Structure 1
Amino acid sequence: MKLNIKYTLLFLICCTLLSCVEEQDFGQYDDLRLTPTAEASILYIESPESFINSAGDVDIISRDFNFDAFSSDVFAKRVLDGTITYIVENTTSKRINVLVELLNADGEVIDREEIETTPGMNIQKDIAYGNSGKNINIIKFTSSIRVTARNLGDSTSTSDLPDPKIILKSSGKFRLNIK
């Protein structure tokens, strides 16, 4: 009799536990959206005022940088929108004009930003791409970046600040669709 009570209790406990288990919905994966934000530096360029003075009337900086990170399939197929931030710090005694051009694989300019700064001035320029800005395809097709900086001042003066220079920094912050 004791044995029957044990089996009966065990059976009732099992039935109670099984009745509390919810049916699993494995279709939730289809509704899942993963859109992390990725942020990274793009360029860092600096030029001391002594170099700017010795350059004379030619461009201080005129260089193309290979940048296939945006056009790689891993990024280009998943990018939704984002922002490129340019920061120009000018501790020289000169007006400086900085031109940043995004180029496609054929070397054609697909976007450009011009930043003019005066002595002692720091400028930050945020450029949006995607839903709230320029066409996101500009980012997807960028294969290289051309930077040109021109001295709009003289080639003799020097700043009173220690270690005067022009610095261009840029970074990108983009939302990606993982799934």
Structure 2
Amino acid sequence: MGALLLGSYACSDEQDFDQFDDLSITPTLASSIFSVEADEPFINSFTTVNTFYTNTFNFDAFNEEFVAERLLEGTITYEFENTTSKPLIITIEFLDEGGGVLDTEIFDIPAGPAPAFTIEVDYGPGGKPLDILANTSDIRITGINLGDTTSTSTEPDPKIVMKSAAEFLFRLK
């Protein structure tokens, strides 16, 4: 019985709960932002204006002050694939609550068929200011056809595909 008490005593150490103060938690959150597709007949249908696509959508990922204050850095990845016969310009605008433009990304997309390509834009240390992301309320995407409205690609199902995803690093503690 004495050995059992000695074993129990030896296994119970005083716990140090102050270790939590030294803990650093920095999770990475990955998310899709948008995916847009427009086929060549749709692009050709806009004969009086060159803008074939415009859409503004809500992006309140950082509208909570708690979240915005803990954002350390982020990367937004844009992917484009154009199999149409059209050279295009894609403009992406980050808007604040009042509709003011915080930042603009302009992508010159060559006529297809062209291989898909990816562009990464960094925010935070070594990149654009984090305030752009923290203050973004809406994102506006505009597509402009720089070509004609009659030509048609020989590719099957010619279209422009635009996708975007992001990774954000936060400090929780």
TM-score (norm 2): 0.90
Corresponding position of 1:6: none
Q: Which amino acid aligns with 1:99?
A: T
Matching residue's letter, 2:105: E
Among 162, 172, 177, which residue is 2:171 paired with? 177
Amino acid at match of 2:156: P
> C-alpha displacement at 1:163, in angstroms?
0.9
8 Å Cα contact 1:64-1:145 kept in structure 2: yes
Q: Distance in 2 between matches of 1:137 and 1:70?
A: 10
Residue 43 of structure 2 corresponds to residue 43 of structure 1: no
1:71–1:139 CA contact under 8 A, matched in 2: no
Matched with 1:68 is 60
2:89 to 80, 88, 97: 97
CA contact (8 A) 2:92 2:105 kept: yes
Report the CA distance between 1:13 and its aligned residue: 4.2
Larger radius of gyration: 1
CA RMSD of superposed structures (Å): 1.6
Q: Which deviations, in whole Å up to 9, do the C-alpha atoms of 1:106-144 show, x marking residues without a partner?
A: 111111111111122322110001113111111110000
Q: Counterparts of 1:17 and 1:67 in 2: how far apart (Å)?
A: 56
Output the CA distance in 2 between the equivalents of 1:171 and 1:74. 22
Structure 2's unaligned 5+ residue stretches are none
The residue correspondences of 1:145-164 to structure 2 (distance < 5 A) are 145-164=139-158
Over residues 60-81 of structure 1, what are the superposed CA-to-partner deviations in whole Å (9 max), with x where a residue is unaligned? 1122111112323453232211
**Aligned position for 2:135:** 141
Match of 1:7 in 2: none
TM alignment of 1:50-65, pairs within 5 A = 50-56=41-47, 57-65=49-57
Contact 1:54 1:155 in 2 (8 A): yes
Partner of 1:3: none
Taking structure 1 as the reference length, the TM-score comes to 0.88
What amino acid sits opposite 2:90 in the alignment? Answer: V
Q: What whole-Å deviation, never above 9, does each CA across 1:35-90 have from its counterpart, x for those lacking one?
A: 11110110111111001111123301122111112323453232211100111111
TM-aligned CA distance change 1:72 to 1:88, over 3 Å: farther
Identify which of 92, 113, 122 aligns with 1:120. Answer: 113
Q: Could you say which residue in structure 2 is the equivalent of 1:22? A: 13
Does the Cα contact within 8 Å between 1:95 and 1:117 map onto a contact in 2?
yes
Question: 5+ residue gaps in structure 1?
Answer: 1-9
Alignment partners' CA distance in 1, 2:151 and 2:73: 43
